[in-house]
Amino acid sequence: MIDNIVGFVVNTLFGSIYSVPVIYITIILLIKIFGIWKHKKNINNKVKCPNCDNSVKRISSNALDELYIKLSFNLFKFKRYTCFSCYWEGRLW
């Protein structure tokens, strides 16, 4: 009984090409809802570096950042930051 149910669910989710966008959108929504990879702020409401916890500064975005925003259906507003203490550079949302 349980084997049949599990088999049905797996075949339904992964059995066709139409399931790929549904899984992709589900993963994006779960990341947004649970705040995975969301940037942290310190006491002064400034964004903290993920490596050394110092304040980071905004830098200009590039075309790849815009592509990430479009691929996430504008759910994530990626911004590019750099840390002058540990020389980390990356995007956070």
* Pairwise pLDDT comparison (38 vs 57), residue with the higher score: 57
Residues 22 and 51 in one domain: no
> Do 55 and 71 share a domain, yes or no?
yes
Residue 47 shares a structural domain with residue 79: yes
The pLDDT of 36-58, averaged and rounded, is 79
Structural domain that includes position 86: 38-93
Residues 31 and 48 in one domain: no
pLDDT of 43 above 70 = no
Angle between helices 2-14 and 19-34 (to 10 degrees): 100
The whole-chain average pLDDT of the chain stands at 82
**Number of neighbours of residue 30 by Cβ within 10 angstroms:** 10
Contact 43, 55 (CB under 8 A): no
Domain count, the chain: 2
Q: How far apart are CA 5 and CA 16, in angstroms?
A: 18
> What pTM did the predictor assign?
0.66
Predicted confidence at residue 82, as pLDDT, reads 92
Residue 58's nearest CA partner among 10, 12, 93, 7 is: 93
Q: Is the pLDDT of residue 78 over 80?
A: yes
Higher pLDDT, 67 or 22: 67
What are the tens digits of pLDDT across the range 18-32?
777 888 888 888 888
Q: Which residues contact 70 (CB under 8 A, 6 or more apart)?
A: none
